[in-house]
Amino acid sequence: MVRLLDAYPGLAVERRPRVLVVRLTDPHSVLSSCPVNGGLRDDLAAVVNHQCCEPRGHFPAVLETAVADPGAYLRDFCRREALPENCALLSTAVNINNAGVARGAYRGLEVIALCTAGVESNAAAAGDPATVYESGGRFLSLHEKNVPAAGTINLIVCVNRPLTPGAMLTAAMTATEAKSALVMSLGIGSRYSDRLATGTGTDQFALAARQGREPPLTGAGKHTKLGELIGRTVSQALREALSYQNRLTARGQCSSRILLERFGLDRKGLQERVAAGLPPDAAALLARNFDAFERDPLTVAAVSSLVHLHEVFRSGMLPPACRPDVFAAAGARLAAAVSGRPDMQEDLRRNLPAAASDGSNEAFLTFVCRCLSVGYAAKWKD
């Protein structure tokens, strides 16, 4: 057992193999999404986050018990780990050693956020097509093949002041918004649609607020200092967890491929479609230097601009009749960025096809790849 940090009085954070334990040594109100001991409780002794399987291709038989009889799963887990059964138990496939931890304080008010996170295969946007339907206590697959995707964001937020029930719920909303804002800021695409992800399909959450004699805080929204501390600590802890678990950082997301993959274009497809518009010698050169090509900052910035325009037109913010002119100008900027010849922007524009006006992902990808081809073909011309 390792003591992870010196928390405020009444709270102890420990780490042991595959388990993160937040001991509530003073009474806390706990709001959690846990299937057992979930909801709003005042009688819990701990909040626990544990790794129940490996991230890929590992579905031990005990997980069937976790779904079919979560109470039995919790009792068996607590017996093996010598933990009290009156706990909120979160589960994940993420390595607990990669947990992110953040704390914030203001005039005696303290907030601690702990997070484990993996988004590589289960990132999702709220409102994405469902994969299961719950009926009669069972989750029924809505697809012929239903292999659960690994990837979960588990958040534990601790506050050293009492909160009203309404403030507990508002604090949960603020934490969730902070999580979604951070995920979207990193440009993480959903694995179930062409939208930016807002989390994963299996996110879990727990909030613990220490009870005491002080009047309970009634606000935890974005205008309040408590809301600010929750938002900042959740963002920091989640950013840290993603950098450890997935090596996912803002700098690492500087990639044309990553920007385009949620529209249905992977690395191989991107390379092949750009190469198809090049002479053989230029295509061979592209293949040898593809990583540098697709991660060039000016190219990524120009692709990002086109992605944004694609979504703006789909939303109806701009009239479809403007699409050809807008995309022609933005496409020429992309070709010029790839070529390293901004002085040739107008010449390059004449070599671009008209942007399709149907707004489909396929038409969008075809246009972007043509812009990339035109720019790369011109890069080493005398």
Q: From CA 109, how far away is CA 23, in angstroms rounded?
A: 19
Nearest Cα residue to 188 out of 205, 179, 222, 297: 179
Q: Which residues contact 332 (CB under 8 A, 6 or more apart)?
A: 345, 346, 348, 349, 352, 371
pTM for the structure as a whole: 0.93
What pLDDT digit, counting tens, does each position of 50-99 carry? 998 766 655 666 666 666 688 999 999 999 999 999 999 999 989 999 99
Rounded to whole angstroms, what are the CA distances from 16 to 49, 218, 358? 11, 35, 55
Residue 63, both tokens: 């997980």
| pLDDT at residue 359, rounded to an integer | 87
- Which residue ranges of the chain lie beneath pLDDT 50? none
Q: Which residues contact 362 (CB under 8 A, 6 or more apart)?
A: 264
Residue 332, both tokens: 């020429």
Q: Across-strand partners of 2? A: 15
| pLDDT at residue 57, rounded to an integer | 58
Q: From CA 112, how far away is CA 103, in angstroms rounded?
A: 4
Q: Which residues contact 354 (CB under 8 A, 6 or more apart)?
A: 324, 328
| pLDDT at residue 65, rounded to an integer | 61
Would you say the C-alpha torsion 273, 278, 283, 286 has a positive or negative sign? negative
- Is residue 36 within 8 Å of 74, Cβ to Cβ? yes
Residue 159, both tokens: 């506050």
Strands 199-200 and 123-124, by their bridges, are antiparallel
Please compute, for residue 227, the number of CA atoms within 13 A of its CA located in the half-sphere on the CB side: 14
